[in-house]
């Protein structure tokens, strides 16, 4: 019965056991391990939901097709299978299901499953070497609009230029503030005289030498 129910679980991704709960096949996606330059394959883990324990009619039909027994006999065998596991758990025993995991019961009467990860031999890690191509435009989805990678490069360049211009104005403003401060300090110490800005000294007039004798 263990083997038949396991095959049903793998095929239909769910298996309800009366009085125990429902086993569900949960997929763990592939993982990119760039440090080792590999992509690890997806794995599967079985979880137990003890809130649902009503088998579907397809399960009884599956058992009938696999064993050749009548449907009422399939129902009886499934109930006996679940009943035996439940009683063993109540006695404090642990039930190991090779491909699924280990069942146990907590002090509060809740059945738990220490699930096993399911891996297949044909799912193996594959090499993952990042290829960097220079001067190649790739289409990138930005919101609902597709734009080229060069568009982002142009935006980055314009942003960098704007930042440099902004820094230039900041530096110029600081130098101007320092210059004005020095001028004000000079007038504070020497007094303000508006005539300093103009040359008020009359020009010296020299007589030209005689051009004849």
* Predicted confidence (pLDDT) per residue in 84-129, tens digit: 999 999 998 999 988 888 999 888 888 888 888 776 666 677 777 7
Written as one string, the DSSP assignment of 84-140 is HHHHHHHTT--EEETTTEEEEE-TTS-EEEEEPEE--TT---EE------TT---EE
Residue 18: burial class (beta carbons within 10 Å; 0-12, 13-18, 19+): middle
For residue 198, what are the CA distances in angstroms to 120, 188, 195?
95, 19, 5
Per residue in 64-75, pLDDT tens? 999 999 999 999
The pLDDT of residue 40 is: 79
User: For residue 198, is pLDDT > 60?
Assistant: no
User: Across residues 149-153, what is the average pLDDT?
Assistant: 60
Higher-pLDDT residue of 44, 59 = 59
The pLDDT of residue 71 is: 92
Distance CA 52, CA 46 (A): 15
User: For residue 178, is pLDDT > 90?
Assistant: no
Percent of the chain having pLDDT more than 90? 24
The pLDDT of residue 50 is: 84
Distance CA 74, CA 9 (A): 16
User: How many residues comprise the chain?
Assistant: 213
The pLDDT of residue 144 is: 64
Helix, strand, or coil here: 39?
Answer: strand
User: For residue 200, is pLDDT > 60?
Assistant: no
User: Across residues 139-146, what is the average pLDDT?
Assistant: 63
User: For residue 164, is pLDDT > 90?
Assistant: no
């Amino acid at each position: 019965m263990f083997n038949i129910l396991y095959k049903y679980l793998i095929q239909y991704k769910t298996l309800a056991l009366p009085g125990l709960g429902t086993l569900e096949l949960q997929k763990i996606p592939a993982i990119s391990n760039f440090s080792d330059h590999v992509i690890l394959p997806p794995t599967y883990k079985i979880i137990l939901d003890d809130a649902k324990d009503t088998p579907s009619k397809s399960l009884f039909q599956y058992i009938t097709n696999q064993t050749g027994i009548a449907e009422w006999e399939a129902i009886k065998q499934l109930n006996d299978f679940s009943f035996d596991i439940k009683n063993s758990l109540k006695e404090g025993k642990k039930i190991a299901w090779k491909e699924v995991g280990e069942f146990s019961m907590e002090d509060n009467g809740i059945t738990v499953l220490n699930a096993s990860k399911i891996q297949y031999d044909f799912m193996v890690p594959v090499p993952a070497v990042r290829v960097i191509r220079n001067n190649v435009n790739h289409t990138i989805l930005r919101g609902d609009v597709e734009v080229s990678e060069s568009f982002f490069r142009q935006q980055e360049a314009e942003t960098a230029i704007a930042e440099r211009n902004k820094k230039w104005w900041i530096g110029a403003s600081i130098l101007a503030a320092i210059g004005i401060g020095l001028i004000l300090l000079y007038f504070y110490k020497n007094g303000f005289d508006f005539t300093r800005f103009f040359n008020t000294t009359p020009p010296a007039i020299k007589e030209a030498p005689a051009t004849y004798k």
